[in-house]
Every structure is written in C-alpha cells, then in structure tokens.
C-alpha cells in the first residue's frame, strides 16, 4: 500500500525560529515529491523534487529529497507569523490511484509572535 | 472506512455528457473538500462542506458544476455537459473539523477524461 507520512503533525514555535518538517514515503514507482502550503482553501504549490540531494530554495524556504532513505525535509528559516499554515507533502508515483498522487496528512505549523 | 474512498478511479466520457463523482469520507469527519488537479497545475479548490453549514461553493468554475453531501457523509460532485477542459483529476479530502485538528486525508482521486 502506498503511503506518505508527515511529522510532526503539529508544531508551535516562536517567530524567528527555524523549523524542519519531515515527509517519508513508501510508494511503487516513485516519480516526484511535492510540497504544498495550505492556508485557507486550496494548497499552494511550493516545490517539486525529483532528484536526490539537490536543494530547492525559495526565499526562506528550502527542501531536499533523499531517494535512498525515502524522505524529504522542508526547512523554513527566520519564521514569520505568515508562515502559519498546514504544510502538505504529496508523492507522485506510477500505478495506484487515479493519478498516483498520494498525500500525507500534513503538518500544522503555528508561528507565535 | 479506514480512508477516503473515491469512485470511479477513472472515467472517460464524451463531451456534452453528465458525470457524477463520488467521495466517501472517513467516518466522523465533518469537513469535506473537493479539489481539481489539472495536468501540470496545482490543486484548485472547488467546494467545501462543514457539518450542517451551507457549503462554500466559491471555487466551482461554472454553473455546470454542483456538489451535494447527503447525511453529512457521502458527497457527489456532478459535472453537467462536460467539456474537454474539465479533464483533470478530481480529489476529495476530509478532516475532523475539530478546531486545531488539521489532519487532512485525501482520497486517491478520480481521473476524468472528456473526449
């Protein structure tokens, strides 16, 4: 059974802290891993990772994939209250489901001022 | 059930026909969302149900789209007079609806192809 596990499920930190969100997966025929940020309705796309060891960066956010150990991390440095959201990890894989897209349950991140 | 169940997993339909997509959320989950994922794009919000409240339909792209949720459980998304641009994967997600509990569970989706 394909599965994506995110940890922690929730996290409360103070503004300015650095956080690391984790995503591990077990899927058949992995293609890529995606990170989303969900604040209100639709998750907004952050990163797509296909190759191991290549860090993707966007401002204070960065992410990296380890295809040997089957996990990815999402780092947020110098956190701000606007970073408060649910961060979703999804894995795109061949076979299984309509599009082989399996989501984790998300990490609920709360940044306190 | 143990997870969010969607059916059918794949649907091919002719342009102009109506389709119904079904979502069976996790028992006890009061919040239910429908999303659409088109090729190469992110998730697009369609509609949100929370308990007995009026649904948030603000994401429905046209009046050909409608959804209902019977008895606070199973939801059906209906697309009338399908168009080719409706081709996408339609995802359903549910969560408990309890404040500060944001554990979403997604179904495996329905791939709709309009030919």
- Residue A63, both tokens: 């992410």
- CA dist A4 and B40 (Å) reads 21
Q: What is the pLDDT of residues A18-60, one digit of tens each?
A: 999 999 999 888 988 989 898 766 677 899 899 999 999 999 9
3-class state of residue B9 by DSSP: coil
**Closest-CA distance of chain A to residue B3, Å:** 11
* Residue-level pLDDT, tens digit, chain B, 115 residues: 578 899 999 999 999 999 999 999 988 888 898 999 876 566 788 998 988 888 988 889 999 999 999 887 999 999 999 999 999 989 998 877 665 555 678 888 899 999 9
Are residues A45 and B42, on separate chains, in Cβ contact within 8 Å? yes
Task: Report the SS3 class of residue B71.
Answer: helix
Residue B99 to residues A108, B26, B46, B115: CA-CA distances in angstroms? Answer: 12, 17, 22, 42
**The pLDDT value given to residue B45:** 83
B111: closest CA of chain A, how far (Å)? 5
User: How is residue B56 annotated by DSSP?
Assistant: B
Inter-chain touch A44–B42, beta carbons under 8 Å: yes
- Tell whether B10 lies on the interface with A, counting CB pairs under 8 A: yes
* A102/B35 touch (CB, cutoff 8 Å), yes or no: no
């Amino acid at each position: 059974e394909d599965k994506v596990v995110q940890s922690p499920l929730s996290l409360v930190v103070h503004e300015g802290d650095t956080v690391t969100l984790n995503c591990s997966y077990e899927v058949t025929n992995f293609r890529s891993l995606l990170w989303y940020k969900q604040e209100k309705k639709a998750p907004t796309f952050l990163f797509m990772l296909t190759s191991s060891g290549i860090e993707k960066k966007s401002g204070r956010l960065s992410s990296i994939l380890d295809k040997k150990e089957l996990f990815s991390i999402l780092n947020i440095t110098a956190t701000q209250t606007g970073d408060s959201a649910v961060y979703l990890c999804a894995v795109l894989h061949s076979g299984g489901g309509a599009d082989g897209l399996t989501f984790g349950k998300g990490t609920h991140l709360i940044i306190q001022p | 059930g143990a997870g969010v169940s969607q059916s059918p997993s794949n649907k091919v339909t002719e342009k102009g026909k109506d389709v119904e997509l079904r979502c069976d959320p996790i028992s006890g989950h009061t919040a239910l969302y429908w999303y659409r994922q088109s090729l190469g794009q992110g998730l697009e919000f369609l509609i949100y149900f929370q308990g007995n409240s009026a649904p948030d339909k603000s994401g429905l792209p046209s009046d050909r789209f409608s959804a209902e949720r019977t008895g606070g459980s199973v939801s059906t998304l209906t697309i009338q007079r399908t168009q080719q641009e409706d081709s996408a994967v339609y995802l359903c997600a549910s969560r408990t609806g309890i404040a500060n509990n944001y554990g979403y569970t997604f179904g495996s989706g329905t791939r709709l192809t309009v030919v």
